[in-house]
Amino acid sequence: MRNYLLAFDQGTTSSRALLLDPDGNTIAVAQAEFRQIFPKPGWVEHDPNEIWSTQSGVAAEVVNRANVDLNQIAAIGITNQRETAIVWDRRTGQPIYNAIVWQDRRTAGMCDRMKAEGLEQTVQERTGLVIDAYFSGTKVAWILDNVDGARAKAERGELAFGTVDSWLIWRLTGGRIHVTDETNASRTMLFNIHTREWDDEMLGHLRVPRSMLPEVKSSSEVYGEAVGTLAGVPIAGIAGDQQSALFGQMCHEPGMVKNTYGTGCFMLMNTGKEAVPSRNKLLTTIGWRRGGETHYALEGSIFIAGAVVQWLRDGLKVIRSSAEVEALASSVPDSGDVYLVPAFAGLGAPHWDPYARGAVVGMTRGTTDAHLARAALEGIAFQVVDILRAMEADAGISLKELRVDGGASNNNLLMQFQADLLGIPVIRPANTETTGLGSAFLAGLAVGHYKSVDDVRTLWKADRVFEPAMSADAREVRYSRWRKALDHARSWVDSTND
């Protein structure tokens, strides 16, 4: 009996694998971190072969740890860091350059030129996105322009481009299958979210040959079978990490919202079968496609969330492990009027300032590492308020609750402060691995492991509800101070030096 589902959860700082039993319980998890490469200020890269080796390694590890035979695994679901761009040689299967990570800002100048050419409305209408270095399209263009011989090879059809899902499936299938799904395609700035096809006008603007692109599939169907250590197991679900979490949080009805606290922070609202254009600098994106229907979402993207805790650990060394931050921050009653704006990679939605940089304001001689730790956590929560207020304005509704997941959602201090700032309940599920769960559920639906979405919904359970305890007046005072701190971080880097 094929009773188990295997989820690949390929993230920004680590590769994870989860094995789920028939009731959706996680019976085994493995994780491996990989190198973060910073060639220049604002540049972030990964080695694509390290992404593959760590992901394939943890997948083998969970299967062995659970003592499960391959013929007991119904399907593989894949979820991934989304806008990271990889270009490889079709013949050798080797990357021609490191993966350029979604956090990378090297193409900010290219984006400025696109804005100067008056392309902002075109980009939003066709792709649902804003013009920003965040997305894959300008990263691919940069590789073609800066790697010797790359453009000529691409024009001869010798190169392949993919987001991380495409790269993993290429490797999983021994180079036989080059596909992506609509959720990942919608993050490239090359895909028309209305026609659901690669957009010739956008390809022309960015000079990306169509021959490089993967075939775009739905988020829930059998794409092929794995070879090698997972030989014969169907690959049947793909969704970018945030859309996967939206599905895994059971936000299946319009108006439902989830927020994932990972390396970055990402809030998505299900808008149903309608692509709602944003008037407040949010993104209109594809939530998933299955059963012949595409569901859309509004999204707000925060570039630095959990990564600020890694900075406290690795950069400032005020904590030895990320888990220690809650105790340190809780050792003081408040931040001492210290505000930390974690704009280390610019500001995402709704500000979209690639030239912003991190700022700490309000420090005095009495400021301690505990105040800084608390300000770091609060800086995550304040950014979420920025997003939610824009999202409510776009959708024309007031949110009743926020479902949360991701590693930092296990931080009770952060979750309580988030509820206080938003003035609504924050609900954490019993299983916070919703990013991996979403892709596994999509795969399970494709192969008949689950009969319907209703079967999947019964698997979601709440762990804890954080009720707001801060007065409305206190909330507004704190938020106004945050907005003042934001002003100090904006436009710090001179764009003419890009």
Was 149 annotated as part of a binding site?
A: no
Name residue, tokens 């954080």: 466
Was 434 annotated as part of a binding site?
A: no
Was 72 annotated as part of a binding site?
A: no
Residues ≥6 apart with Cβ < 8 Å to 72? 1, 2, 3, 4
Was 16 annotated as part of a binding site?
A: yes
- Give the Å distances, CA to CA, from 141 to 21, 106, 406: 42, 11, 32
Was 107 annotated as part of a binding site?
A: no
Give the CA radius of gyration of the chain.
21
Was 249 annotated as part of a binding site?
A: no
Identify the bridge partners of residue 150 per DSSP, sorted by sequence position.
Answer: none
Was 92 annotated as part of a binding site?
A: no
C-alpha span between 9 and 77 (Å, rounded): 9
Was 55 annotated as part of a binding site?
A: no
Was 241 annotated as part of a binding site?
A: yes
Report phi then psi at 187, rounded to 5: -105, 10
Was 14 annotated as part of a binding site?
A: yes
Was 412 annotated as part of a binding site?
A: no
Burial-class residue 279 by CB neighbours within 10 Å (0-12, 13-18, 19+): exposed
- Give the Å distances, CA to CA, from 493 to 102, 324, 343: 19, 32, 11
Would you say 161 and 213 are in contact if contact means Cβ atoms under 8 Å apart? yes
Give the residue among 180, 182, 209 at the shortest CA–CA distance from 194: 182
Was 497 annotated as part of a binding site?
A: no
Would you say 354 and 485 are in contact if contact means Cβ atoms under 8 Å apart? no
Was 134 annotated as part of a binding site?
A: yes
Would you say 58 and 30 are in contact if contact means Cβ atoms under 8 Å apart? yes
Was 242 annotated as part of a binding site?
A: yes
Burial 102-138 (b: 16+ CB within 10 A, else e): bbbbbbbbbbbebeeeebeebbbebbbbbbbbbbbbb
Helix%, strand%, coil% for the chain, nearest 5: 40, 25, 40
Which parts are annotated binding residues for glycerol?
82-83, 134, 241-242
Which parts are annotated binding residues?
12-14, 16, 82-83, 134, 241-242, 263, 306, 310, 407, 411
Which parts are annotated binding residues for ATP?
12-14, 263, 306, 310, 407
Which parts are annotated binding residues for sn-glycerol 3-phosphate?
12, 82-83, 134, 241
Which parts are annotated binding residues for ADP?
12, 16, 263, 306, 407, 411
